Amino acid sequence: MALVLAMAAGLWGLGWVMKVPGRTRALMLLLLYAAVLVVQVALPEGHPLREATGGSAAQWLVLGGMVALVAVYRAGLLRLRARAEGVDAAREADAPKPAATFSGEELERYARHITLREIGGPGQKKLKHAKVLVVGAGGLGSPVLIYLAAAGVGRIGVIDHDVVDLSNLQRQIIHTDGSQGMPKVFSAEQRIKALNPHVEVRPYHRELTAEIAETLFADYDLIVDGTDAWPIRDLINRAAVATGKPVVSGAISAWEGQVTIYDPAHGAPCMACVFPEPPAPGMAATCSETGVIGAMPGVVGAMMATEVIKWIAGAGEPLTGRMLIYDALYADTRLITLKRAADCAVCGAVG
């Protein structure tokens, strides 16, 4: 038996030196094993060749059985490993791709956000991948756009059909004297890119209409209403309800302003729940009709931008179902609760 084992070792070693594939070497050993069994069965007891190769087939059969068991066990392990690797690969393919990392310049730019416990790295990544549409690039839209760009919101859309006028510059701080006559969305785009080249800006120089509103809203996570007229606000509300998008809404007049988040898809009221009918003539005048203190859009717009950032990052308690009212003339702030109307003509069937 020792002779046969020595021959097997010699064949394996010679094959290894000659770089013969493992399967071929295993086949050579199998042939040697089969030859030994033939010798043990075919030759009579006491034959010199049979004695030299062990003298009995029983021990070779036992050895062969043991080797076969080891081989089967090893094959089973390999199959289980392959299956596990396949499952892992499938899970990796199905898993969401990790968020893009920040460059060194971005880390320094957003450092004050990242050190905030309520935002941190995960919140800043959410901002980087967020898509926000701002309707209106005027008084409220100006600070909202500036602060969202500074915060690192990845995609900022802005829609407005108007052009920059000299009378805008008292409060619409995203525009400059040199922007007069330029479409507001392109003026805003220039300022945003100058402030933060890491964000994507999508300007839409056109009027928001019912024909395009829902399609446009579907491309964004959240809508910001910075308009000042009832018909366009009603249009924004209806399109947002239809697409399930929350709306951060602000309004200003003279010395007063208000901020809230309409989100009936998550239990909060829509605008029609709070204001079911258009205001009576003269009761909801625009800034051009009543005037407005220049800093008021900055105060309310900054509050709106803060609510957007909170909503994206999941920080604190957003103004869903609540309205913040600010009276700048008397430095008074009030917070009122808003409830959904079960019979609301716009969102009554939602949620």
Segments making up each domain of the chain, as ranges = 2-94, 130-337
| Dist. CA 10–CA 23, nearest whole Å | 16
pLDDT, residue 176, reads 94
Amino acid identity of residue 48, one-letter, is: P
Q: How are strands ordered across the β-sheet holding 200-204? A: 200-204, 155-159, 131-135, 222-225, 247-253, 256-262, 322-327, 332-337
Rounded average pLDDT per 10-residue block, the chain, 351 residues: 66 63 69 68 68 66 71 66 51 44 89 91 94 96 97 96 94 94 96 96 96 96 93 95 96 93 93 88 61 91 97 94 94 94 85 60
Is 323 in contact with 317 (CB distance < 8 Å)?
Answer: no
Nearest to 124 by CA among 137, 111, 136: 111
Amino acid identity of residue 163, one-letter, is: V
Q: How far lies 31's CA from each of 34, 51, 58, 61, in Å? A: 5, 19, 18, 14
pLDDT, residue 94, reads 47
CB atoms within 10 A of CB 198: 16
Which CATH superfamily groups domain 130-337?
NAD(P)-binding Rossmann-like Domain (3.40.50.720)
pLDDT, residue 119, reads 92
pLDDT, residue 97, reads 41
| Dist. CA 37–CA 64, nearest whole Å | 10
pLDDT, residue 40, reads 61
| Dist. CA 31–CA 15, nearest whole Å | 14
Cβ neighbourhood burial of 34 (10 Å; 0-12, 13-18, 19+): exposed
pLDDT, residue 228, reads 86
Cβ neighbourhood burial of 255 (10 Å; 0-12, 13-18, 19+): middle
Q: Give the rounded distance of the alpha carbon of 274 from its chain centre.
A: 32
pLDDT, residue 99, reads 44
**Ramachandran region of residue 157, left (φ > 0), alpha (ψ -120 to 50) or beta?**
beta
pLDDT, residue 283, reads 57
HEC per residue, the chain: CHHHHHHHHHHHHHHHHCCCCHHHHHHHHHHHHHHHHHHHHHCCCCCHHHHHCCCCHHHHHHHHHHHHHHHHHHHHHHHHHHHHHHHHHHHHHHCCCCCCCCCHHHHHHCHHHHCCCCCHHHHHHHHHCCEEEEECCCCCHHHHHHHHHHHCCCEEEEECCCECCHHHHHCCCCCCHHHCCCEHHHHHHHHHHHHCCCCEEEEECCCCCHHHHHHHHCCCCEEEECCCCHHHHHHHHHHHHHHCCCEEEEEEEECEEEEEEECHHHCCCCHHHHCCCCCCCCCCCCHHHHCECCCHHHHHHHHHHHHHHHHHHCCCCCCECEEEEEECCCCEEEEEECCCCCCCCCCCCCC
pLDDT, residue 78, reads 63
pLDDT, residue 39, reads 63
